[in-house]
Structure 1
Amino acid sequence: MQKTDINYFRLIGILEGISYLILLFVAMPLKYFANMPLFVQIFGMAHGVLFIMFAIMLLIVWFRHRWSLIWVIGALVASLLPFGTFYLDSRLRKEYGPQKITIKTGPNTKI
């Protein structure tokens, strides 16, 4: 069984985690201490889109790989905590092996 959906889920989780940390530790302080709310708007939108993509990929992975409800709830909780998606990524690496997170592009790409 090809595990490209796990790779996409891991990639989106890492990007979502990075956007969350930037939002919390860069954009929010700039908004409240430097009166620069633009960064919250930009990174807030990016984080929102990535969070929705994370939730959609979580549903896809849940059904395709028949994850238990405990795994799904754990992944949701991890997405709400700073650094949580990085911990989730390490757990997925232990469970599914250290696969490279790569995205192939081209005319013969099958998703």
Structure 2
Amino acid sequence: MAENKLADLSMEFSINTLKMLDNVKGHYALKNQLEKSSTSIGANIREAKYAQSKADFISKLQIALKECYETEYWLELFQKANITNDKNLPKLSHDCGTIRRMLIASVNTAKSNSK
């Protein structure tokens, strides 16, 4: 059940990030980086559902976690550099942090269950 919630949250987060990026003028390279990392989170969570082994499952979640950390960086940069004043940026940052914490808990649980 938690993984479905994680998959749902990551999908909603990706959609909201893409909507925010639609309103950003210029900064194409930065927008591309944020688009890639934010959508990769959910893609790797989905991929983990059909992992070939427990190690593969953990690896996919760890990749999603790394992408989440990267996304947090880009969101912070967008805010600090005033690339956008989108009112949803604080919520996106909060949601990304929530997904990150859930991924950390999932990775830790999977690791402890594989021992």
- Higher Rg of the two aligned structures: 1
Normalised TM-score (structure 2) = 0.42
Normalised TM-score (structure 1) = 0.43
Q: Which has the higher contact order (CA 8 A, sep 6+)?
A: 1
Name the one with the larger helix percent: 2
